[in-house]
Amino acid sequence: MSINFTSGTALLGLCSKNNVRIFEMMLVREVYISQRNKDHILNEMKENLAVMKKAVERGLAEDIRSVSGLTGGDAKKLRLYYEKEMTVAGTDLNKAVASAMAVLEVNAAMGQIVAAPTAGSSGILPGALISTAQRFKKKDEDIVNALFTAAAVGYLITRNATVAGAEGGCQAETGAAAAMAAAAITEMLGGTPEQALDAAAMAIKNILGLVCDPIAGLVEAPCIKRNAIGTANAMISADLALAGIKSIIPFDEVVEAMLKVGKTLPCELRETGTGGLAWTPTGRQIHERIFGKS
């Protein structure tokens, strides 16, 4: 079976030709590229899933505070809210969002997370995917397969654009993560490879142009709340695709557009902490409180 795909179009062609799904195609590619056996690679992904679950559980249960003191405790606060109150967005969505925030809070507190695809966007994939899998009573095997679907999308974005906020803004980080999660959920719930890439394309389009402006240059604020929004974005995009709604602009073209948009962003809006929210009066005050006057 050929594994040489470098675009979404090529990936869909291989899936159709070999009658496989995206996760199967990505696993075959990984075996070939790494020269390791399938079971070893699957076990590594299971370990990633275990780390993701632990990060979610810790963030939802503990009053975690970041080293800077800037963030922490919001994931648990949201959990207590949706467990006791009638919410605007519903329990399921709030559970996923809280799970995503939990992972980012663990990251900000120097805990162990899985960069998916980056530390700053690491909450979206576990938050959206694990909570959806629990609701639909999916097994760990199903989640692991979905993680390979996500990996395929992340690989294509990394290869053809960027997942770095310093290069493409937050659209490249939380946008890529939302695309990965949307595709993973879509295929896990029975969607076709075409629907999975439609979901990924819509997730990126929804936040095209989003800037990266971390307050005090830390991966905490507004990163944690953007992971919350990215999780909702991924789940909505998956629903759109599963409903049969297509992305008017194909996945490959959306990725190319994201790269071009990222290149047009000024450096102040690409993770330097010198523009956007980071450069508001309050943002500058927080920077001085943590690091002193420069």
In the block, which residue shows the tokens 């999975």? 196
Q: Is the pTM of this model over 0.75?
A: yes
Say if residue 22's pLDDT is above 90: yes
Is 117 within 8 Å of 177 (Cβ atoms)? yes
Residue 126: cis peptide before it, omega within 30 degrees of 0: no
Mean pLDDT, rounded, for 223-235: 98
Residue 1: band (very low, low, confident or very high) from pLDDT cuts 50, 70, 90 = low
State the Cα angle at 125 between 66 and 196, rounded to 5°. Answer: 160
**Rg, the chain, Cα only:** 19
Say if residue 294's pLDDT is above 60: yes
Residue 207: band (very low, low, confident or very high) from pLDDT cuts 50, 70, 90 = very high
In the block, which residue shows the tokens 């929004």? 229
In the block, which residue shows the tokens 């194909």? 250
